[in-house]
Amino acid sequence: MTSPDRSKGDRSRDEVLAGEYVLGVLSSSDRRLVEERLVRDLAFAAIVRRWQDNLLTVDDSVPAARPPVRIVTRAAPAPVKTLEAPVKRAPRQGLWQSLPFWRMLTAIAWLGMLAMATVDVLKP
């Protein structure tokens, strides 16, 4: 954002600073500095007034728009499920589609291979 004390004398910076002031994006300390400058600098005050007038005309000229019904119905909250509604569960899978089964089988196979390698190394 533009600093209120550095923009003095530079018209392009004054325009940016006036816009930031009117839009309300300045920090509270910068806003106070700009308000003090508005009292002293009539040319800068005219720029701020023009910004305010331009934004007010935009606000008045744009009619309030209602969103289409299809958007409103999509954005409506979903109905709340009651406790009495049946809970849908995923169909049960067989043993061959079970991930824990295959993980356990893999762990047992690794332990078996480790045991066989240990026995083979310890053999005289």
Domain definitions of the chain by residue range? 11-61
Q: What pLDDT does 87 receive?
A: 67
pLDDT in tens, 49-85: 999 888 876 655 666 677 677 766 666 666 666 656 6
Query: How much of the chain, in percent, has pLDDT values that exceed 90?
Result: 32
Cβ proximity of 22 and 55 under 8 Å: yes
Cβ–Cβ < 8 Å for 89, 59 = no
Q: Find out whether 20 and 2 touch, Cβ atoms under 8 Å.
A: yes
**pTM tops 0.95, yes or no:** no
Say yes or no to pLDDT of 1 above 60: no
- Average pLDDT value for residue range 18-43: 90
| Average pLDDT in the chain | 79
Answer whether residue 37 shows pLDDT above 70.
yes
Nearest to 33 by CA among 7, 12, 51, 59: 7
